[in-house]
């Protein structure tokens, strides 16, 4: 339904992973997402893109972290503009996506590219089949993640967050990927 928008989201997620955690050394080992011949093509398609990332905006510390850790490297290394859109409540962005889907908005017609989301809101979008996935295990740097441990954490997660690893990376994973990347 939102195929084009979802591909753009995947491109951002890849670019974020590459920008923060290193280059795609395993490019030959990972299949690119549908519509692309290689991971290099994904990175090339992201050039010049602006991505609207809707997230809770109530913490200056988190906002600064996102701007510095993701926004600056995305612009400097990939020419991708990260537009962090602050929310008072994440459910507002979820409701926007649900409303757009109900109205038949497809592709790039929607306003939201990505949402920093919690378990309950994730579950709502998953039930509506509005999430792109699985994708987390297909990004090149996923080789640095202990997926057995991630699945174990997800199985112990309360309520709606359970079994979410096919369409998201749990919060501990970026730290694990970063640590592994710096040890190599």
pLDDT at 159: 57
| 43: in domain | yes
| 8 A C-beta contact, residue 96 and residue 112 | yes
Radius of gyration for the chain, computed over Cα atoms and rounded to the nearest angstrom: 16
| 162: in domain | no
| 109: in domain | yes
- Span 69-100, pLDDT tens digits: 999 999 999 999 999 999 999 999 999 999 99
| 38: in domain | yes
Q: What is the pTM of this model?
A: 0.68
Q: Cα–Cα distance between 168 and 63 in angstroms, integer?
A: 20
Side-by-side strand order, sheet with 50-56: 81-87, 50-56, 114-115
pLDDT at 184: 32
| 127: in domain | yes
Structural domain boundaries, residue 87: 3-131
Query: Within its chain, how far is the Cα of 110 from the centroid?
Result: 17
- Span 51-71, pLDDT tens digits: 999 999 999 999 999 999 999
| 160: in domain | no
Q: How many structural domains comprise the chain? A: 1
- Span 101-154, pLDDT tens digits: 999 988 778 889 889 887 788 889 888 988 876 677 777 777 887 878 777 766
Paired residues of 4 in beta bridges? none
| 62: in domain | yes
Q: Cα–Cα distance between 22 and 174 in angstroms, integer?
A: 12
Closest by CA to 40, choosing from 53, 25, 55, 52, is: 25
| 175: in domain | no
């Amino acid at each position: 339904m939102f195929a084009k928008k979802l591909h753009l989201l995947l491109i951002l997620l890849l670019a974020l992973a590459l920008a923060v955690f290193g280059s795609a050394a395993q490019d030959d080992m990972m299949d690119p997402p549908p519509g692309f011949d290689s991971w290099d093509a994904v990175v090339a398609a992201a050039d010049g893109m602006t991505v609207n990332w809707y997230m809770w905006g109530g913490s200056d510390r988190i906002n600064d972290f996102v701007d510095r850790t993701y926004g600056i490297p995305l612009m400097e290394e990939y020419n991708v503009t990260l537009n962090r859109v602050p929310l008072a409540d994440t459910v507002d962005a979820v409701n926007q996506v649900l409303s757009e889907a109900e109205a038949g908005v497809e592709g790039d017609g929607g306003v939201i590219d990505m949402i920093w989301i919690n378990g309950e809101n994730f579950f709502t979008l998953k039930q509506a089949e509005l999430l792109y996935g699985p994708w987390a295990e297909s990004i090149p740097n996923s080789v640095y993640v202990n997926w057995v441990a991630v699945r174990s954490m997800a199985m112990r997660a309360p309520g709606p967050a359970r079994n979410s690893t096919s369409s998201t990376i749990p919060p501990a994973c970026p730290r694990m990927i970063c640590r592994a990347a710096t040890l190599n």
